[in-house]
Structure 1
Amino acid sequence: MANHVIIVDLETTGLNSGRDQIIEIGAIKLDLDAGKVLDQFQTFSKPDDTYAFSYDQDDEGNDIENDEELEPIRLDPFITELTGITDEMLEGAPSNPDAVDAFFHFAGDLQIWAYNAGFDSKFLNNHTEAHRPLKDILSLARRAFPELQNHKLATVAEHLNLSIDGAHRALADCLMAKEVLIQGIQFQIENPDPFHHGFKVSDYLPKEEGVFYGKTIVFTGALETMTRDGAATHASQFGFKIGSSVTKKTDYLVVGIQDLSTLAGHDKSTKQRKAEELIADGVSIEILTENDFIRICGINT
């Protein structure tokens, strides 16, 4: 079966998914095996009429009151400077819900990747009931290039001698992210035990609207259908806080395949043995298989 995936990138009015809105969606359909772009998608999106960056103000910063409805300045000048997207470019563009719907129609049932997937996922999920998980290219970059001072897309692109012309426009960012994804996957192939390297639970912020918000989940062992960061990305989108160790505050432990060479003669990991001890002491912790985890989160693998 062809190994086709989608890479998506959003440009937005700001960083707060609860307040800010999408102004551009770009995506490419990629043949991962050939490294070839098969198709692309791009649309601007106009913020709704209730959105405004700012209103007219007097010299002291107070809103001007008059009998006429004030025209909002839709885009922060910083965003226009950063992206090159202007108010005029958004006139007549589809609404956020329509633009997101069009993107998911383009993506079909293919696996979706994004650079810093948690950011894009929050904005997309504001406008869809599907709440499809996005896999994170940023996590691959952190594993493959740990020596970099930071892992912003432009930084990694320059490290790979890629052109950053057009950066902060959705399709240009998708094309840069494509090369990072291909090299990150190659790193995983050459380093077959990547699921611990570079994994930081602080990278995964629980989605407040998720059905498991307030619950903590911990992973142990290697998963068959996804990497550790992929599982953590899924879990965080469903509201889970990702824990690094098993404690009394742990609600779920997902047990994958154990590396016998690291178990020091035991048949279970330290995390699983700790969970079983706490359960015996009356702490409510549920131990899940990988299939259990997939089932409770409704993940399509």
Structure 2
Amino acid sequence: MNKGVILMNFLAIDFETANSSRASICSIGIVIVENGLIKEEIHTYIDPEDEFTYFNTVIHGITEDMVQGAPTFKEYWPEFKRMIENKVLIAHNASFDMSAMRYALDIINEPYAEFTYGCSYVFSKKVWPTLFNHKLSTVADHLGISFKHHDALEDARAAALVTLAALETSGTDSLVELSDMHNLQLGLHRTDKYSPAGARKRKKSMKVPTRKVDKSHPFFNASVVFTGKLQSMTRGEASQIVLNCGGVCKSNVTRNTGYLVIGDYDLTSFTEVFASVKMQKVEELINKGYPIKVLGENDFLKMVT
């Protein structure tokens, strides 16, 4: 390839959320890049079917009135999936956007889409290491990119331009080559597993195991949500235990939640200062008659040991 000629195709995306729940997507920006040039830009508001908090509205300026009549994530998902399926995606701080997508899909009980993705934040840290930070606004300013921060479409466009600049500066024409140059790995999303983008690690992709389980166990076919920091094990280890019991772990509380497990540290401090979004949602649903059980970490351990 001639240096400065980028032949890369990808989609840059960005989500804004209505509140602290990553599933509360209220705006989606999509920028389609073909052969190193922006070919199409798409924006839609999303009705999160949830409340808008003052803090989030101050950040992005989106209000409940602005999403009236907009599609819900469930309604928009078939079209969005068609755009991203088997494609290469880019986002700045991709861990947030990818987890927001997973959280939203968990709520509507849809499998993950299949795609590869990279993070323009991670790339920028490698390509321009001397910047005092690598926020999208900082990197864009360094590159002379003007944009309105926390506008989903503008953020997606900026992430696309940062990625193109990283490719050009590095003299590469693919995200695989750019990643290899800096000892990075691209993230992978599949219907039943995912692996993060970032520094190369030895860990294997997380995958739901298939095994025989005790159908009489309380967690069998139950939806379990964790909140707070566990003292006895990692969140991943606890989730695996639930899976081994035939249950399913979800990121957010819904009407179908069977159990909310609270880390013992947070449980002991709850009456004074702790009030997670998940706990508040559970209280609301319990008051409406949904039979959700709240467990402390010790109670959880007694059920699985």
Scaled by the length of structure 2, the TM-score of the pair is 0.53
1:120 to 71, 92, 97: 97
Q: Is the 8 A contact 1:4 1:32 kept in 2?
A: yes
How far apart, in 1, do the equivalents of 2:91 and 2:153 lie? 12
1:229 counterpart residue number: 185
Classify 1:110/1:75 alpha carbon distance in 2 versus 1 (closer, same or farther; 3 Å).
Answer: same
1:23-67 superposed Cα distances (whole Å, 9 cap, x missing partner): 00110111243xx2211221111122xx3xxxxxxxxxxxxxxxx
1:25 match: secondary structure: strand
Q: State yes or no: 1:9 paired with 2:14.
A: yes
1:169-189 superposed Cα distances (whole Å, 9 cap, x missing partner): 111111111210011112332
1:66 counterpart residue number: none
1:265 counterpart residue number: none
Which has more radius of gyration? 1
What code does the residue aligned with 2:11 have? I
1:120 match: secondary structure: helix
Q: Is the 8 A contact 1:157 1:176 kept in 2?
A: yes
Aligned residue runs from structure 1 range 135-146, under 5 A: 135-146=118-129
How far apart, in 1, do the equivalents of 2:152 and 2:66 lie? 14
Cα deviation for residue 14 of structure 1 reads: 3.9
2:154 to 172, 189, 194: 172
Aligned residue runs from structure 1 range 179-198, under 5 A: 179-189=161-171, 195=180, 197=182
1:113 match: secondary structure: strand
Scaled by the length of structure 1, the TM-score of the pair is 0.54
What code does the residue aligned with 1:31 have? E
Structure 1 residues 74-83 or 236-245, which shifts more? 236-245
Q: State yes or no: 1:30 paired with 2:33.
A: yes
* Gaps in structure 2 of 5+ consecutive residues: 1-6, 206-305
1:90-131 superposed Cα distances (whole Å, 9 cap, x missing partner): 111111222233222233543111111111111112324134
Cα deviation for residue 8 of structure 1 reads: 0.7
Classify 1:238/1:4 alpha carbon distance in 2 versus 1 (closer, same or farther; 3 Å).
Answer: closer
Q: State yes or no: 1:97 paired with 2:74.
A: yes
How far apart, in 1, do the equivalents of 2:96 and 2:134 lie? 15
1:150 counterpart residue number: 133
Aligned length: 188
Classify 1:23/1:147 alpha carbon distance in 2 versus 1 (closer, same or farther; 3 Å).
Answer: same
1:92 match: secondary structure: coil
Classify 1:122/1:131 alpha carbon distance in 2 versus 1 (closer, same or farther; 3 Å).
Answer: farther
Classify 1:134/1:190 alpha carbon distance in 2 versus 1 (closer, same or farther; 3 Å).
Answer: closer
1:259 counterpart residue number: none
Identical columns (%): 22
* Gaps in structure 1 of 5+ consecutive residues: 52-73, 198-226, 254-301
How far apart, in 2, do the equivalents of 1:182 and 1:252 lie? 29
How far apart, in 1, do the equivalents of 2:200 and 2:179 lie? 16
How far apart, in 2, do the equivalents of 1:44 and 1:251 lie? 37
1:129-168 superposed Cα distances (whole Å, 9 cap, x missing partner): 134342211111111111112111111111112113x211
How far apart, in 2, do the equivalents of 1:115 and 1:251 lie? 23
How far apart, in 2, do the equivalents of 1:136 and 1:241 lie? 7
Classify 1:160/1:194 alpha carbon distance in 2 versus 1 (closer, same or farther; 3 Å).
Answer: same
Cα deviation for residue 7 of structure 1 reads: 0.8
Classify 1:116/1:94 alpha carbon distance in 2 versus 1 (closer, same or farther; 3 Å).
Answer: same
Classify 1:183/1:102 alpha carbon distance in 2 versus 1 (closer, same or farther; 3 Å).
Answer: same
* Larger strand proportion of the pair: 2
Structure 1 residues 91-100 or 167-176, which shifts more? 91-100
What code does the residue aligned with 1:30 have? V
How far apart, in 1, do the equivalents of 2:154 and 2:25 lie? 17
Classify 1:81/1:251 alpha carbon distance in 2 versus 1 (closer, same or farther; 3 Å).
Answer: closer
How far apart, in 2, do the equivalents of 1:139 and 1:97 lie? 30
Aligned residue runs from structure 1 range 33-112, under 5 A: 33=36, 36-48=37-49, 51=50, 74-112=51-89
How far apart, in 1, do the equivalents of 2:57 and 2:136 lie? 19
What code does the residue aligned with 1:78 have? F
1:1-35 superposed Cα distances (whole Å, 9 cap, x missing partner): x7421111111124543xx41000110111243xx
